[in-house]
């Protein structure tokens, strides 16, 4: 048996740990699309990883190509990994022991449609999705504007 409080704390800690893992992978976007401005790593400044693309431009003298510096950040479809929806369902029996609600997750708690006792219950926990951080959206939009400004 486990106390309800201990159980909820464990579930909460697991959710926080999962969100921390997702946050770490979102921060990994920076490492993937940026490099240190100083190759020796002495500075804090980052510059975007980019490629140069020959872009055709129509002029009065015909078509010519111009170099366009394209940050890789603007080319990749970015989605921050988020928890879309988690449904955690468990069946248990409840009992009050020393004024503390205890949950019993024994194998004897059969998965049936009938609730034969008012001491049994089902717990569902649902987590909603989160948006991409505003800072990352703003950063991408800024680089997209710079990219567009290079194209005549």
| Cα–Cα distance measured from residue 1 to residue 105, given in angstroms and rounded to the nearest whole number | 7
State if pTM tops 0.85: no
Compute the half-sphere exposure of residue 125: CA atoms within 13 Å on the CB side of its CA: 12
- Check whether 125 has a pLDDT greater than 70: no
Average pLDDT, rounded, for the chain: 78
Nearest to 95 by CA among 123, 117, 125: 117
C-alpha span between 15 and 103 (Å, rounded): 20
Query: Could you tell me which of 125, 116, 77, 64 has the C-alpha nearest to residue 93?
Result: 116
d(CA 48, CA 70) in angstroms, rounded, equals 9
**pLDDT for residue 16:** 79
pLDDT average, residue stretch 34-58? 86
Task: Answer yes or no: is pLDDT of 112 > 70.
Answer: no
109 falls in which pLDDT band (50, 70, 90)? Answer: low
d(CA 50, CA 100): 60
Percentage of the chain beyond pLDDT 90 is 14
Reduced 3-state DSSP string for 34-88 = EEECCCCCCCCCEEECEEEEEEEEEECCEEEEEEEEEEHHHCCCCCCCCCCCCEE
> Is it the case that residue 15 has pLDDT exceeding 80?
no
- Yes or no: say if 152 and 57 are a contact pair by the CB < 8 Å rule: yes
Whole-number pLDDT of residue 54: 94
pLDDT digits (tens, 9 = 90+) for 49-83: 999 999 998 888 899 999 999 999 888 877 666 65
Domain ranges of the chain: 2-150
pLDDT at 110 over 70: no
């Amino acid at each position: 048996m486990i106390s309800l409080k201990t159980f909820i704390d464990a579930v909460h800690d697991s959710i926080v740990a999962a969100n921390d893992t997702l946050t770490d992978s979102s921060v990994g976007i920076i490492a993937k699309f940026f490099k240190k401005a100083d190759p020796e790593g002495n500075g804090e400044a980052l510059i975007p990883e980019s490629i140069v693309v020959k872009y055709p431009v129509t002029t009065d003298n015909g078509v010519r190509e111009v170099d366009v510096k394209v940050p890789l950040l603007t080319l990749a479809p970015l989605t921050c990994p988020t928890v879309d929806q988690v449904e955690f369902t468990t069946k248990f029996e409840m009992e009050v022991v020393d004024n503390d609600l205890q949950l019993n997750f024994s194998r004897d708690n059969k998965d049936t449609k009938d609730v034969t006792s008012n001491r049994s219950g089902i717990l569902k926990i649902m987590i909603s999705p989160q948006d991409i951080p505003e800072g990352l959206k703003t950063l991408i939009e800024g680089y997209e504007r710079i990219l567009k400004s290079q194209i005549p």
